[in-house]
Amino acid sequence: MTESTIVKPFIISRVFNAPVETVWQAWTDPDHMGWWGPKGVTIELPRLDLRPGGLFHYCMKTPDGHAMWGRWVIREVTPPERLVFVNSFSDEAAGITRHPMNPAWPGEVLSTITFATQTGRTLLTIRWEPLNTTEEERTAFDGGHESMQGGWSGSLDRLEEHLKGKS
């Protein structure tokens, strides 16, 4: 297998009962990003520079106090239609680290988030593709689709709760 081997991207969509501008704000305003992450975690110290080349750096805290850092390096910002960034696990200084529970996980994942208006509601689509991977990382990514489905479903449930009453 070569580096150019194509892996199956992970794609998940959901329709939210909120205008596209409100859903966009939930993804791009640090004051509204407390929903981000798996169920049960809280987001602390979010820092967001929303421009190409900018950084979103945050700490996810589990109920037992375990801290996991993450970061996005922003590639594209097209309000309120499209947000593209490279997602990575991180350390406190915003350096790239390995997945804390799966060392074979890709170090970088290209995330493309699209926001489309549907009769006053918003169709949100998330597309993940691993970047700069080894064969082992591509295999881990391809094998992780079910886990990603569960994780993203929980995060999108949190987003749905956050959006209630904001439309």
pTM value?
A: 0.92
Identify the CATH homologous superfamily for domain 10-163: START domain (3.30.530.20)
**Which pair of tokens denotes residue 127?**
């597309």
pLDDT per 10-residue tile (average), the chain, 167 residues: 66 98 96 88 90 96 93 98 98 95 95 96 98 94 95 95 83
Domain range list for the chain: 10-163
Distance of CA 149 to the CA centre of its chain: 12
Bond prior to 9 in cis (omega within 30° of 0): no
First-to-last C-alpha distance (Å) of the chain = 48
Rounded to whole angstroms, the Cα distance separating 67 from 160 reads: 24
Q: What is the pLDDT of residue 39?
A: 85
